Structure formats: C-alpha cells, structure tokens
C-alpha cells in the first residue's frame, strides 16, 4: 500500500507500507454468517523515508519561523516612531 499526502511545507509525502493481518476464525457454533475477527495486525513502513521526510519538515518549519522573525524585526525597524508621544 502507498500512503500519500503532503507535509505542512507542501512537500509531497508518498511512503510504502505493508500490513500483515492475522485472523481468528469464528467458532462453528457462531453460525454460517459469522465473520472472522482480527487477532493481530502488524504494519511496516519505510522508516528511512519517513525519518528523512520529517527531519526535512522540521528543518523547513524552523527556517520559516526564522524568516518570519526576521520579517517582523524589519517591519518594526522600518516603522516611524514619530506617532509615539513621550511622557513628561
């Protein structure tokens, strides 16, 4: 199975997974329409792909935060302060 999506940065995410499911058959006394029950499920993903993707997402998020901080600082420095009255 392929899991598809995108990260907060907009980067595409497409990771391969496999699921192994063990079923428990219903007892004969349950009747002919009884369904099996899931007994155990194991899921395996490409952990190296996921590790790299989420490491990159964290790095991009930190870069965006830093850029936003710098943008706000530039705005504050560029605003004239003449409208502020000094208290005497």
Beta strands in 1-88 (DSSP E): 2-6, 12-24, 37-45
pLDDT in tens, 15-69: 999 999 999 999 999 999 999 999 999 999 999 999 999 999 999 999 999 999 9
CB 18 within 8 A of CB 3: no
pLDDT tier, 83 (very low <50, low <70, confident <90, very high otherwise): low
Give the start-to-end residue ranges of the domains of the chain. 2-78
pLDDT (0 to 100) of residue 76: 87
CA distance 67 to 75: 12
Q: Is the pTM of this model over 0.75?
A: no
CB 3 within 8 A of CB 15: yes
Nearest-5° Cα angle at 83, 82 to 88: 85
């Amino acid at each position: 199975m392929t899991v598809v999506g995108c990260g907060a940065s907009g980067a595409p995410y497409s990771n391969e997974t496999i699921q192994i499911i063990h079923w428990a058959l219903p007892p004969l006394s349950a009747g002919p329409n009884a369904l099996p029950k899931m007994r155990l499920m194991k899921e395996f993903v490409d952990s190296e792909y996921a590790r790299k993707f989420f490491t990159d997402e964290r790095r991009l998020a930190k870069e965006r935060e830093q850029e936003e901080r710098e943008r706000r600082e530039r705005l504050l420095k560029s605003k004239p302060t003449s409208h502020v009255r000094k208290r005497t």
